[in-house]
Structure 1
Amino acid sequence: MEIQNKKCVIILDEALPLGILTNTAAVLGVTLGKERNEIIGPSIKDKSGYAHEGIVAIPIPILKGNEQLIRELRQRCYTEEFSDCTIVDFSDVAQSCKDYDDYTEKLKLQQEASLHYFGIGICGDKKKINKLTGSLPLLR
């Protein structure tokens, strides 16, 4: 799929404190970049010869929602219609862990319904992403 036909969005629970919002957005952005590395442009050298690592080649709007909306969007992404989209999430379990091993062990003990989602990132076909999130306002 051509980059101009892709869209990525991050939806955050607007009720969270600023520090957790920014941490959640950072984690989701890094994870989307890992999962969909085609959205990252190549490294570039400036006129002085210094290298600048590639950044995301498409905008990633940060949208506002609430915990219920985030859960509903996440569930919709697991339907056949959106099965080709990438979805990443960040929850209370992830935010409370000291390291990845701790996260792995704690998440294995959780039922999905008990997780409190702080945010999700979705990437895929622009039309599908717009259908899912086109009515959501920007987080400001």
Structure 2
Amino acid sequence: MEMKCVMVIDSELPTGLIANTAAVLALTLGKKMEETIGPTVIDGSGNSHEGITTIPIPILKGDSLKIKELRDKGFNEEFSDLLVVDFSHIAQTTNHYEEYTQKIAAFTADDLDYLGLALYGDKKKVNKLTGSLGLLR
């Protein structure tokens, strides 16, 4: 099975929040998908460079409603084997993880607004969910 990873980020966000959302999603992906990070490499001068992702990660544009829809679909039985990482407005407005866990516990799934989402898994399933979305430029 060929694997694929994409991020979908709300294209209406300011550039700084888009960058922050992508960074947070990428960190979690890196933790959950350690096998996709290559080994340290050495350049022609003998300097080392930490390994980076071995797979492309296109960043697609969406809006908060589309991201919420994708997140919900990602937990349907058909897509339950996909890794789904989300980043909500609650996470973006907290500075400490403990504060985040306390705040998010007070919200239902319907109350959350999503800034971004990452999906990783079977390429056909990821494409089925995101194939109609354009690149975020």
TM superposition score category, shorter chain reference: over 0.9
C-alpha separation in 2, matches of 1:37 and 1:125: 17
- The AA in structure 1 aligned to 2:66 is L
Deviations 1:5-32 (A, max 9, x none): 1110000111111111110011011111
C-alpha separation in 1, matches of 2:17 and 2:44: 37
RMSD: 1.0
Stretches of structure 1 that go unaligned for 5 or more consecutive residues are none
TM-score (norm 2): 0.96
- How is 1:81-96 mapped onto 2 (pairs within 5 angstroms)? 81-96=78-93
Counterpart position of 1:115: 112
Matched, 1:48 2:45: yes
Counterpart position of 1:125: 122
TM-score (norm 1): 0.94
Counterpart position of 1:100: 97
The counterpart of 2:64, out of the listed 59, 64, 67, is 67
Counterpart position of 1:78: 75
Counterpart position of 2:10: 13
The runs of at least 4 aligned residues of structure 1 exceeding 2 Å deviation read: none
Give me the identity figure in percent: 54
The counterpart of 2:33, out of the listed 13, 21, 36, is 36
CA displacement at 1:47 relative to structure 2: 2.4
C-alpha separation in 1, matches of 2:78 and 2:34: 23
C-alpha separation in 2, matches of 1:78 and 1:68: 16
CA displacement at 1:51 relative to structure 2: 1.4
Stretches of structure 2 that go unaligned for 5 or more consecutive residues are none
Secondary structure at the counterpart of residue 8 of structure 1: strand
Number of residue-to-residue matches in the alignment: 137
